[in-house]
Chains A and B, each alone.
Chain A
Amino acid sequence: MIRFLRRTGGENQRDKALKDKFEFNKTVQHGFPHQPSALAYDQVLQIMAIGTKNGSITIYGAPGVEFSARYKEVVSIMQLHFLPGQGRIVALLDNSLISLWEVLDKGGQSELSHKQDFTIPCQPGALPSVTRPTALCVSAAGDKLYIGSEAGSVHVLQLSSSQFDDVLSQEGALQSLPEEYRVGKALGAVEAIREDPRASTSILVGYTRGLLLLWDLNRRSLQRCLPGTQQLESVHWSPSGQQVTCSYSDGSYQVWSLDDSEEQRVPSLLYGPYPCKAITKIQRFITSGCTFVVFSGGMPRASFGDRHCVTVMHEHEHVAFDFTSRVVDFFTVSGAKPGTVLDEPKVLVVLVEEELVAIDLMAPGWPSLTPPYLASLHSSAITCSHHVSAIPSKLWERIVACGVQQKEKHSSAEWPINGGVMKSQKRTSRDLLLTGHEDGSVRFWDASGVALQPLYKLSTASVFVTEADQPEPIQETDEGHWPPFRKVGCFDPYSDDPRLGIQKISLCKFSGQLALAGSAGQVLLMELNDESTEHEINTYTMDLLEENETFRWKGHDRLIIRSGPVPLPAGYQPQLVVQAMPPASLTALALQAEWHLLAFGTSHGFGLFDCHQRKSVLTKCTLHPNDALALEGPLSRVKSLKKSLRQSFRRMRKSRTTARKRPDPTTKVREANARLAEQDLPGEVELAPVQRRVEARSPDDSFTGMVKCLYFADTFLRDGSHHGPSLWAGTNAGVVYAYSLEIPTPEHRNEQPIHARFGKEIQLMHRAPVLALAVLDGKSSPLPEPLEVLHDLAKSPDLHGHHSLLIVSEEQFKIFMLPKVNSKHKFKLTATEGSRIRKASLVWLGTPPSGNSAGTSGIVTGNDEAVETCLVCLTNQGDVHGYSLPSLRLQARFSCMRKEDVTGISSCVFTHAGQGFYLISPSQFERFSVSAASVTELLCSLQPREPEAIHPLPIPEYSPTVNQVKPEDAVGTKKRGRVMENALLTDSRVLEEIQETLNASPPIKVDIDMNQNH
């Protein structure tokens, strides 16, 4: 009894220590924002911003510099405009609100925070169109915001005092017009406002009906009138200030020269003569002697109306860059020195709905430039992901080298947007995230830092004969055609063949071997080769049904391997292909590089393949006779992803065509009706509430035979004195099969066959699917990975104590002693809580690795107190739980995601160090951490330029630690500005200090007025 008490007391202490090691943080978002809707670029600070339809704004600078914020409510961001050089940004929302956001410095780390909201002032009872902003323009000095409304008026907002001080109403504009331009009709909504690039005294206002007015703000009079005749889409005032280019909705554009008032060029319809779509945005620069025209849209409506293009014309070069998704916006990064008249577009950055594409306009042929962030994770839909931490440097370098070879066609220019300073610590280990995609490709991402960077892309489609091989690539047919299309971007949602999809990935980081399992029963064993080769690929077919004649596979066919030598580029090259029959999708995969064994499982059974001798060792059918669904194959009932993607794209296209139009009153009524209908809907749903049938699980549920996990372990399967290799398999019906393997000694590995003997079968009484299996050694730490001990990266396991088997099913955790399978600990989660386990993983919590060695060095040094193994799992409620091992006590519980977020839960992957990734949208990974020691945080700062250098008013900046300003930014004037803002934000005690500073520098007196207006 005393011993028992002592033991439990010790365990409690250990649990307490473990509890402290848990800490939940959502840290970084990787990937591309879902449904982007606005883009902005600040030439001064070299940063860009992307706004989305669900109300998030992210500012990107140099790699690793990111500021993200989002509105609490779901609002769509229509436009974004930087106040140049100030680190502030103005957002126009779809609810007619204009908000000001600001990058604030908080203890050396900057954050994007909301500052203020504006609405257009109006009389009570005015039409909603009066207050609906349609066009925004920030003055070059960044002190004024011109807001054009749907009713046709232009308001001037003083940003420093947040006061509207000037209005150009439509009536005023009409009255000042010369008689011949008055057409008796309203001018329409304000479509574009541009400030004179030479002097900020006049603005150019473009109305929907085509008229452009050059308005002198000081004299409040009309300077000039440019009578366009078509419906205006966008206006660009060339930086030299001499020419104005405007684009129209009929696909034409027109250049007005302001110097020679008589010259009027006719609108040119570039892709005519047949009707064309609108040019939504145009930019025209005058470079040394030539013009540089960049515009989006304008395609012939009938023939290429569905293309999403940005056309670039310069001298004789003319390319229509063809994107796979809708163009949201674009900007050009100027390479010109400030002060010169000419403008030299250096890089064209195009934001399309699914990716960000940059094109190097300086290099000949305009190659594309790979952005260091915003990688399009979902270029083909992600089907699985796999994380490997602490990659040995040699393998890492080889993978990186292969990736560099792939990018040869891309521009090598430096990424031009590099504002801000990254302060995150240098990476301590090399972590790899592998994503498998629907088109059969696997992407390797550098997941060690805050930016998820693409390293290498591996495609398996070339190994197989697919339908897409028959028609020749489209590029050739497009050659010599008009318009001169060129495909850019990597987003390609249309998979050639759904069978190519990658379902499971297993990478042995020590041997470099990679096993991939696909949707049509194909298992590829790949090895890294630094040179491109051409060799034949052998297929080995393994029938999992074991001559069971009663079953008939009604699903898809197997993929056919290309016959003859297959040319293989440098990188991962397939060594052999094991084909599981029937060709159902693979559901489990395990690679044991030390024993040269490969195990795979489908919904029918599992197989064991000897990669060394290249022959089958074992097949086992796990089917239950009543399991009908497993036999039909996935195509019959499960909706194909391809189909659903196509449908959603059609839906999107439909909504886009309606969204393009300005909402007229009838659509408003319709919208209101629709909203009412939506409100009615839940009421109807409540009338027939959701019912759940309560039924105990019976053995004839569908897919009971599906193999959920496979595991290799060197443990005591047969008796307590002899350990040996074993293979464990867990199925959907809660059965665990254990086989003992007899592997010949290395000398006889070539000749003697491997024997697999059926050792044990464990039927879990609750029959829930087995999610994970692991063998813990005598010290309750999991067995090391294959080859880990051989490479001296882990302690060899304790083979003297009693091993125990951890079984994680969807409902319970259980620990059994080996070799007698008697239960030692268990935790019934579902029976007590109702939540089911979706993902489970063993993680090592504790002090981060010292960094001199690979990531697991903490374990190598034998610092047992520092590193604790525990079980982390994600439930269907979206909670992350942490359990101690082997006592299986709940140590920590964090709410991680919404329980409705099914894709997020199913895509979650845990890393060894206690971090995790899950998809928050088809294109974005959210990174979280449950370990207090291992947190990948975004630490970066943005230093707004000297405000005085840009305009006379200092920009208020917030700095809580005035006295601790670092020496490098301790510029006197700046410091003063900070002090003032700080005082205003905190208390009046510092007012004296302000007075002193003000007395010291009289020019800033303007500030007081500004601040008092707050």
Chain B
Amino acid sequence: MTRSQKPAFRTEDRIEVKSKLGAEFRRFSLLRAAPGSVEELWALLRALHCLRDGTTLRLQYAAPGGELLPITNCHNYARALATTSSTCTAVGNPFRLFLLTDDMADTHANSTPDGRKRTGRPRPVVGPPIDFHPLASVIDADVLPASLLRVRLYREGTSRPLGFYIVEGSGMGHDCGVFISRLLPSGLAACSGLLAVGDEVVEVNGVTVSGRSLDQVTAMMVANGHNLVMTVRPAMAPLRPTPRRASMQPQRPTNRDGGSAWHSVSTSFPTQVWPNSWRATRTQASQPTVTEISSPSDDDDDQDEVRDFVLHNEQSSNQNGRSSKPTIKTNGMSHKGNFISGLVKREGNSITLYI
């Protein structure tokens, strides 16, 4: 256990082990020929880390790929030793064990040492929420000029309306062009914090809106409503000098890192030009709700749903004379690759394929 003991053993037939609980760690070694069972290892670890009997911990080891894998029974313990013994021969590259308390590793529910499922009241969840979903994201920030912002609004999975109004001409000197005129308070656009009243819409899903009427632009947005990508010219953006980077942060000037930009805007324009709602939106924008960069999945945005009803036994239904209630089975399995890749929903006696 101490450094003085170490020369007494030959390194060839021992495995160097480093066990870590929180910030403190212990180093020890195991006989390569007889490492012992999991229970023996636990007893050793309790003794080394001075653990009380009642504490439940999980044991994980660092696999050669760098991932953490649990050790719960003899089987995976043996596997852990087998995979690491080849790499842990050199000094200074120990077999690394990690002792984790429950709240450190909530996701590995099955990693209690004896394999029992934990029961009892659920603990409060800390970490990313289960119902996490993206609302909006900034994309192509490194491609676009600094004055433009490409925003993607995700509507799938939410019942939230898109929730904004567009108008032709901003009333602030720009007569042509399509502008955002109003945001619904609970709408997706307002919640994303990426769009604001007065932003000029430049493109909708890659199609430029110039030369199109307001109704056409509306129809384009509605038709792309489930996956709307809008390129806007923010009413505030042109004064931001630094190039944008694709990040989790919205590209609005925030309190933290965009304070100077905010300041320069408010000094160069009289404050009363901006309506109150605009300010409210900007404040909201400084604390982005949920934004995420996600890779655009192209062309899968509108696949139609086909329900297939195929008669199971035609002859028998003919003999019965009643044809209105045939037995139904799906033949969806015969669909080709990309069509079966979707979800299969079972409702009643019919099967719906989302393709």
Query: Which residue of the partner chain, among A689, A765, A834, A899, contacts B304 with CB atoms under 8 Å?
Result: A765
Contact B223 A831 (CB under 8 A): yes
What residues of chain B lie closer than 8 Å to A877, measured between beta carbons? 213, 216
Query: Which residue of the partner chain, among B169, B214, B305, contacts A765 with CB atoms under 8 Å?
Result: B305
Complex-state Cα separation, A347 to B194, whole angstroms: 76
> Is A830's CB within 8 Å of the partner chain B?
yes
- B 143-176 binary contact with A (CB < 8 Å = 1; else 0): 0000000000001000001111111110100000
Query: Which residue of the partner chain, among A694, A760, A765, contacts B307 with CB atoms under 8 Å?
Result: A760
Contact B223 A766 (CB under 8 A): yes
> Is B249's CB within 8 Å of the partner chain A?
no
- Given A718-B310, A830-B220, A831-B220, residue A695 in contact with residue B161 (CB < 8 A): yes
Complex-state Cα separation, A831 to B215, whole angstroms: 13
Q: Kindly provide the distance from the CB of A760 to the nearest chain B CB, expressed in whole angstroms.
A: 6
> Is A132's CB within 8 Å of the partner chain B?
no
> Is B225's CB within 8 Å of the partner chain A?
yes
Contact A761 B306 (CB under 8 A): yes
Complex-state Cα separation, A697 to B161, whole angstroms: 10
> Is B277's CB within 8 Å of the partner chain A?
no
> Is B52's CB within 8 Å of the partner chain A?
no
Contact B304 A763 (CB under 8 A): yes
Q: Kindly provide the distance from the CB of B186 to the nearest chain A CB, expressed in whole angstroms.
A: 13
What residues of chain B lie closer than 8 Å to A876, measured between beta carbons? 215
What residues of chain B lie closer than 8 Å to A696, measured between beta carbons? 155, 161-162, 222, 225-226, 228
> Is A692's CB within 8 Å of the partner chain B?
yes
- B 178-204 binary contact with A (CB < 8 Å = 1; else 0): 000110000000000000000000000
Complex-state Cα separation, A760 to B226, whole angstroms: 25
Contact A694 B162 (CB under 8 A): yes
Contact B220 A692 (CB under 8 A): no
- B 220-241 binary contact with A (CB < 8 Å = 1; else 0): 1111111010000000000000
Stretch with Cβ within 8 A of A (4 or more), from B56-64, B284-292, B332-340: B332-340
> Is B212's CB within 8 Å of the partner chain A?
yes
In chain A between 199 and 257, which residues have their CB closer than 8 angstroms to a CB of chain B? none
In chain A between 815 and 848, which residues have their CB closer than 8 angstroms to a CB of chain B? 820-823, 828, 830-836
- Given A691-B167, A694-B166, residue A830 in contact with residue B223 (CB < 8 A): yes
> Is A758's CB within 8 Å of the partner chain B?
yes
Contact B167 A690 (CB under 8 A): yes
- A 747-761 binary contact with B (CB < 8 Å = 1; else 0): 000000001111111
What residues of chain A lie closer than 8 Å to B262, measured between beta carbons? none
Contact B166 A764 (CB under 8 A): no
> Is B139's CB within 8 Å of the partner chain A?
no
Which of B168, B214, B216, B311 has the most chain A CB atoms closer than 10 A to its own CB? B216
In chain B between 279 and 326, which residues have their CB closer than 8 angstroms to a CB of chain A? 301-311, 323, 326
Complex-state Cα separation, A742 to B223, whole angstroms: 38
What residues of chain B lie closer than 8 Å to A831, measured between beta carbons? 205, 207, 220, 223-224
Complex-state Cα separation, A694 to B221, whole angstroms: 7
> Is B136's CB within 8 Å of the partner chain A?
no
- Given A689-B171, A695-B162, A877-B216, residue A762 in contact with residue B304 (CB < 8 A): yes
- Given A761-B306, A763-B305, residue A690 in contact with residue B219 (CB < 8 A): no
What residues of chain A lie closer than 8 Å to B213, measured between beta carbons? 834, 877, 899
What residues of chain A lie closer than 8 Å to B212, measured between beta carbons? 833-834
Query: Which residue of the partner chain, among A742, A823, A832, contacts B220 with CB atoms under 8 Å?
Result: A832
> Is A66's CB within 8 Å of the partner chain B?
no
Complex-state Cα separation, A760 to B332, whole angstroms: 11
What residues of chain B lie closer than 8 Å to A694, measured between beta carbons? 162, 164-166, 218, 221-222, 225
Contact B309 A760 (CB under 8 A): yes
Chain A residue, CB-CB nearest to B336: A822
Contact B168 A762 (CB under 8 A): no
> Is A693's CB within 8 Å of the partner chain B?
yes
What residues of chain B lie closer than 8 Å to A761, measured between beta carbons? 306-307, 309
Chain A residue, CB-CB nearest to B309: A758
Query: Which residue of the partner chain, among B205, B311, B334, B336, contacts A718 with CB atoms under 8 Å?
Result: B311
Contact A760 B308 (CB under 8 A): yes
Chain B residue, CB-CB nearest to A766: B302
Q: Kindly provide the distance from the CB of B252 to the nearest chain A CB, expressed in whole angstroms.
A: 21
Contact A822 B339 (CB under 8 A): yes
> Is A811's CB within 8 Å of the partner chain B?
yes
- Given A689-B168, A828-B223, A831-B223, residue A762 in contact with residue B306 (CB < 8 A): yes
In chain A between 786 and 834, which residues have their CB closer than 8 angstroms to a CB of chain B? 811, 814, 820-823, 828, 830-834
Complex-state Cα separation, A822 to B339, whole angstroms: 7
- Given A697-B225, A822-B335, A831-B223, residue A692 in contact with residue B310 (CB < 8 A): no
Complex-state Cα separation, A761 to B217, whole angstroms: 31
Query: Which residue of the partner chain, among B162, B168, B216, B323, contacts A833 with CB atoms under 8 Å?
Result: B216
What residues of chain B lie closer than 8 Å to A762, measured between beta carbons? 304-307
Interface residues on A, range: 35 or more
Complex-state Cα separation, A335 to B312, whole angstroms: 81
Contact B225 A821 (CB under 8 A): no
Contact A695 B336 (CB under 8 A): no
Contact A765 B167 (CB under 8 A): no
Chain B residue, CB-CB nearest to A834: B216
- Given A757-B311, A757-B323, A831-B223, residue A692 in contact with residue B306 (CB < 8 A): no
Q: Kindly provide the distance from the CB of A905 to the nearest chain B CB, expressed in whole angstroms.
A: 13
What residues of chain A lie closer than 8 Å to B181, measured between beta carbons? 689, 691
Contact B339 A692 (CB under 8 A): no
Chain A residue, CB-CB nearest to B207: A832
Complex-state Cα separation, A823 to B335, whole angstroms: 12
Q: Kindly provide the distance from the CB of B207 to the nearest chain A CB, expressed in whole angstroms.
A: 5
Complex-state Cα separation, A543 to B120, whole angstroms: 57
- Given A757-B323, A759-B309, A823-B304, residue A765 in contact with residue B219 (CB < 8 A): no
Complex-state Cα separation, A836 to B218, whole angstroms: 11
Contact A833 B169 (CB under 8 A): no
Complex-state Cα separation, A693 to B205, whole angstroms: 18
Contact B167 A760 (CB under 8 A): no
What residues of chain B lie closer than 8 Å to A689, measured between beta carbons? 167-169, 171, 181
Query: Which residue of the partner chain, among B168, B219, B307, B355, contacts A834 with CB atoms under 8 Å?
Result: B219
Q: Kindly provide the distance from the CB of A892 to the nearest chain B CB, expressed in whole angstroms.
A: 20
- Given A697-B225, A834-B220, residue A692 in contact with residue B335 (CB < 8 A): no
- A 85-119 binary contact with B (CB < 8 Å = 1; else 0): 00000000000000000000000000000000000
Chain B residue, CB-CB nearest to A738: B309
What residues of chain A lie closer than 8 Å to B162, measured between beta carbons? 694-696
Q: Kindly provide the distance from the CB of A162 to the nearest chain B CB, expressed in whole angstroms.
A: 46
What residues of chain A lie closer than 8 Å to B207, measured between beta carbons? 831-833
- A 455-493 binary contact with B (CB < 8 Å = 1; else 0): 000000000000000000000000000000000000000
Chain A residue, CB-CB nearest to B178: A692
Contact A692 B165 (CB under 8 A): yes
Complex-state Cα separation, A182 to B310, whole angstroms: 100
Contact A834 B218 (CB under 8 A): yes
Chain A residue, CB-CB nearest to B303: A765
Q: Kindly provide the distance from the CB of A447 to the nearest chain B CB, expressed in whole angstroms.
A: 33
Q: Kindly provide the distance from the CB of B181 to the nearest chain A CB, expressed in whole angstroms.
A: 5
- Given A761-B306, A828-B223, A831-B223, residue A692 in contact with residue B216 (CB < 8 A): no
Complex-state Cα separation, A690 to B308, whole angstroms: 44
- Given A689-B167, A831-B220, residue A695 in contact with residue B310 (CB < 8 A): no
Extra contacts, 17 of them, besides A691-B182, A718-B311, A834-B217 (Cβ < 8 A), are A690-B168, A690-B214, A692-B218, A693-B218, A695-B225, A696-B161, A696-B225, A697-B222, A763-B304, A763-B307, A765-B226, A765-B302, A820-B335, A834-B218, A834-B223, A835-B219, A877-B213
A-B contact pairs, 8 of them (CB 8 A): A692-B167, A696-B222, A760-B307, A765-B303, A821-B308, A822-B336, A833-B207, A834-B213
Q: Contact residues of B with A, CB < 8 Å?
A: 155, 161-169, 171, 181-182, 205, 207, 212-226, 228, 301-311, 323, 326, 334-336, 339, 355
Closest 4 CB pairs of A and B: A696-B225, A834-B216, A830-B223, A765-B302
Q: Contact residues of A with B, CB < 8 Å?
A: 689-697, 718, 742, 755-766, 768, 811, 814, 820-823, 828, 830-836, 876-877, 899
